[in-house]
Amino acid sequence: MIPLTAAAIAAATDGHLVPGTDPSLLVTAPASIDSRQVHPGGVFAALPGRRTDGHYHASAALAAGAALVLAARPVPAPAVQVTDVTRALGDLARHVADRLPATVIGITGSNGKTTTKDLATQVLAHHGPVAATDRSFNNELGFPLTVLRATPDTRYLILEMGARGRGHLSYLCGLVTPHVGVVLNVGTAHLGQYPDGQTGIAAAKSELLTGLPSADHGGLAILNADDPLVAAMAPLTPARTRWWSQRPHPNGVYARDVHVTPRGRACFTLHTPEGTAPVTLRLTGRHHVGNALAVAALALGLGLDHHTIADALSAAEPASGGRMQTIVRGDGVTLLHDAYNANPDSMAAALTTLSTMSARRRIAVLGEMADLGDHAAGAHHHLGVLAARAGLDVLITIGTRTAPLIADAADTEHSTLDIIAVPDSQAAHDVLSRILRPDDLVLIKASRAAHLEHLVAALSNR
Ligand code: ATP
Ligand code: MG
């Protein structure tokens, strides 16, 4: 964080110093909302949680090294008391961002935000110090916490921005206005939350672009030319637009010669207005080509040369935490751990990836997709059709609500496919333990609520 006194923090958050707090006390480290993970010298923000309330842990946070507590109720000094701690974190982020020399980059989209943010972090690090969102902390809390991670020498501040509905990104941009906005795609994630369907999702994401600075003031919009709903956002932004595409584009960044290795790594030739360069991603799945192109367009717009970008993309570590993670067991079975989350787009991308990788047998273990509202039945039916057409040897569905729709649709589409419908992941584990053989390739994917990472963990211990 940029160093701030307790008095400055109180002024920025419209709060008051709790008696006994030295106004000149200096806060130098980032903020935290978990008293067990405070940054020594940083702010501890006391918030009500699901199981406990941060206010009860203020003393523990100070004992663990926090310099100052931000609270909505009386707590021991040193502390600043405010009306609303979440709003105060936002105010503090705004205050800090106004004083940061960093270029602020916002990334939104239905799919691939974290992957793209992690790629961008690794590529832009070749140009200067980067601060970025931790994991997917992309909401009204995670966003300010990320801003507070920046230091005076941060050159790029990369913010993952999740839109939970209309007005959400406008709110985040009101706290800290990015100089650069990246819109990856408009898919079907969280469709159930949008009464007006994909039009609503597109409108929610476009809020990142309307608030960008004009081209004259350095505003830059990085847009996906292949997604019509994203392409249609171009007239909404006053910023300069840079395009990326999977097809030749007259003045954008694009990929040619895209192919996927038998182990699933995506390779392509990066074409830029400045020249071409080969890229071999360490990420699994063709769908990451789009994420990599977005990063290439971003980095080019920020002044990196195309050779550096291509080399940095090829060296970038894949995101962890169940996003197409490859786990090779001692007995030669390969697990494709994609259980972090699922929606219709990422399910389709994962099945395509599975179908292009080489293996003795390809097995998909699919759980239910959450948050689709009225679209749930249709989406699970469609997933079954896709699974039947994906060249699988075995399909295992997990769940009792919408999962049977996957199995039924797959059965209707491809009656000779080996389909096993089980109620829960314990039953899936029992089946898999029985049938898995060396060189089998197993995709495991569902929405986060299904917690299939436990199944992955149980299967990995072999
Ligand atoms: P969240 O909204 O949960 O934070 P996210 O947008 O940050 O998600 P990632 O965490 O990068 O997305 O990826 C989530 C899942 O989507 C993974 O299974 C990943 O393989 C898949 N995915 C990533 N990029 C794309 C894409 N461009 N198209 C389809 N699926 C994708
Ligand atoms: Mg994310």
CATH homologous superfamily of 99-313 equals: Mur-like, catalytic domain (3.40.1190.10)
The pair phi, psi for residue 395, each rounded to 5°, is -120, 125
Alpha helices in 211-343 (DSSP H): 228-231, 288-301, 306-315
Cα-to-centroid distance, 113 and ligand 2 (Å): 5
Cα-to-centroid distance, 122 and ligand 1 (Å): 18
Q: What is the DSSP letter of 1?
A: -
162 CB within 6 A, ligand 1 = yes
Ligand 1 atom with the shortest distance to the CA of 291: 27
Q: What is the pLDDT of residue 338?
A: 97
* CATH class held by domain 323-459: alpha beta
Q: What is the pLDDT of residue 190?
A: 77
CATH assignment, 2-81: 3.40.1390.10
Ligand 1 atom with the shortest distance to the CA of 116: 11
**Domain limits, CATH 3.40.1190.10, in the chain:** 99-313
Do the Cβ atoms of 62 and 76 come closer than 8 Å?
Answer: yes
**Domain limits, CATH 3.90.190.20, in the chain:** 323-459
Q: 34: number of CA atoms within 13 Å, CB side?
A: 5
Tokens of 19: 């008696």
Whose tokens are 């367009």? That residue is 297
Q: What is the pLDDT of residue 94?
A: 96
Tokens of 358: 């080489």
DSSP bridge pairs for 328:
334
Q: What is the DSSP letter of 248?
A: -
Sign, Cα dihedral of 291, 293, 295, 298: negative
- Which helix or strand (DSSP H or E) is residue 220 part of? strand 220-224
Cα separation, 351 vs 355, in Å, equals: 6
Q: What is the pLDDT of residue 416?
A: 84
Q: What is the pLDDT of residue 138?
A: 85
Q: Which residues lie closer than 8 Å to 288 by C-beta, 6 or more apart?
A: 112, 115, 266, 281
- Which helix or strand (DSSP H or E) is residue 31 part of? strand 29-32
224 CB within 6 A, ligand 1 = no
Cα separation, 46 vs 66, in Å, equals: 12
- Which helix or strand (DSSP H or E) is residue 156 part of? strand 156-160
Below-50 pLDDT ranges, the chain: none
Query: Residue whose CA is closest, atom 18 of ligand 1?
Result: 323
Cα-to-centroid distance, 452 and ligand 2 (Å): 18
Of the bound ligands, which one is closest to the alpha carbon of residue 205? 1
Tokens of 220: 């830059």
Q: Which residues lie closer than 8 Å to 394 by C-beta, 6 or more apart?
A: 361, 362, 363, 364, 417, 418, 419, 420, 435
Do the Cβ atoms of 294 and 390 come closer than 8 Å?
Answer: no
Q: What is the pLDDT of residue 49?
A: 82
Tell me the pTM: 0.94
Of the bound ligands, which one is closest to the alpha carbon of residue 115? 1
337 CB within 6 A, ligand 1 = no
Q: What is the pLDDT of residue 445?
A: 98
109 is in an annotated binding site: yes
Alpha helices in 341-452 (DSSP H): 344-356, 376-388, 403-413, 425-435
Cα-to-centroid distance, 266 and ligand 2 (Å): 21
Cα-to-centroid distance, 112 and ligand 1 (Å): 3
428 CB within 6 A, ligand 1 = no
362 CB within 6 A, ligand 1 = no
Q: What is the pLDDT of residue 321?
A: 84
- Name residue 289's amino acid: V
How high is the ipTM of this complex? 0.99
Cα separation, 143 vs 160, in Å, equals: 8
